[in-house]
Structure 1
Amino acid sequence: MNIGIVGLGLIGGSLGLDLRALGYQVLGVSRQEQTCQRAIERGVVDDASLNLTLLAAADVVFICTPIAAIAPTVQQLIPHLSPETVLTDVGSVKAAIVNQVAPLWHNFVGGHPMAGTTDSGVDAAVLGLFAENPYVLTPIETTPTPAVKRVEEIVRSLTSRVYFCRPEDHDRAVASISHLPVMVSAGLIDSCMSEPDPTVLELAQQLASSGFRDTSRVGGGNPELGIMMARYNRESILRSLTSYRHSLDQLIELIEQEDWPMLEKKLQETQSQRPQFL
């Protein structure tokens, strides 16, 4: 089976490494010649090009571009594809993408691998990025079953944990556990940088260790990704941010009132609830 990948960054590149290791023929397309050459050198793809015509031989195409470029990429791809070609994407928002792309291409299956790092570019690609991590597929009523099965087969070969859900349900869920943490983490960094005393700020930066590293990681990632999350999942992110603000207000009130028993109860609850998400 020939598999095409449009966008040879962290996700597209990691997909290429895994799929080639599994014996698939992988064809890649990037906007930059340097990226194409580097992808070939690293063994990410068997062949790469700036031209989408390379993917005419692909049976399945993974679109790994930024969210805003997914639908335009599909439009550009259409003249080069066989009607049987299956398209899928890796965007972290699903309803907006599915609503835009499904009318353009019948054999489209929305997808979202829940994996990544703060690094970007083809040199950030790693083998095994998706292993044991969730990979969400969001077919709708009109999505052909054979197309879904084909994408599912490939995703399962990555040893990902496959989940199926409606695009809208996906967006509400990831707003809470993926998109909200990006905004909260960015807010944490911004709050720390607002310290007015330069001596205290420098000391805080020197003392920051694993706790700050863990809680600030996603806020220090690719700004473009954060913008796309907010732009294309705006309603769900606002809902999650409002809920989070309410939780912060409750904590502030407990500390202001020195209600230590109630604060302890709240922290005991969150301690017991955290494993449900891991």
Structure 2
Amino acid sequence: MAAEALGTPCWADATFSDIEAAKRFYGELLGWTYGESLPEFGNYTQAYLDGRAVAALMPPMPGQDVPAAWCLYLASPDAEATTAKVRENGGTVLVEPMRVGEFGTMVLAADPGGAAFGIWQAGTHEGFQARTVPGAYAWAEVFTRQPEKSDAFFPAVFEYGVKRMDDDSVDFALYDLGADPVLGRMKMTDDFPPEVPPYLNVYFTVADCDAAVEKAQAMGAVLRFGPMSMPFGRFAALTDPEGAPFSVIDGTTTEGDPPALKDAS
């Protein structure tokens, strides 16, 4: 498979202090199996769905005290050039371009509002080997308190088009590459406690949203929103037992008409 186009969500991984507990949780919930940990790469452990790579889990680096969180990576054919664009457009580079063996080159960055994300220049590891099937990545959204900054930053860095939802009750936008939406952007309302930082919310596909929520809660996850049906599927937002936010969505259970969108200008 060819490497993804600039700005395409191409990979997701997460950091957990109790990686064995995280492996059990996501394995039970999403049907993942796991490859061998790679000590030379910080015990990075790849997750598989029917033999196809779908995500990865890892422990914090020694001495590092970071909250559990998912990180979404956006593809770049030139990590150095994209890193320069991050800086030029007011973003913050958290980890400089770093070669990861033969697998590729990674960067960690944040937009001007503080939402962290990754950049991935593929080597032998080109990203997700499955999408939008139960257990695999489905979608992601930038959750931010400063939507105007995100709406300027991400298109400048990744050449996205921007369309905003034509609805005064919600501040939501879609970032697209041509005709294809690749990422959403949602303004964080006062419903979010002030201590919750901006973040990229990763959605995983499930066959039955309500059943997945019930299973997740039984294993210690906390339901934050939903389940709710919308034109794109039935979804729910949760935090896993270690506190990392994520969402699940059943794209086959839909309700209502797609929202009206308008070009940002």
Structure showing the higher strand proportion among its residues: 2
Q: TM-score scaled to structure 1, two decimals?
A: 0.26
Higher RCO (C-alpha 8 Å, min separation 6):
2
Structure showing the higher helix proportion among its residues: 1
Q: TM-score scaled to structure 2, two decimals?
A: 0.27
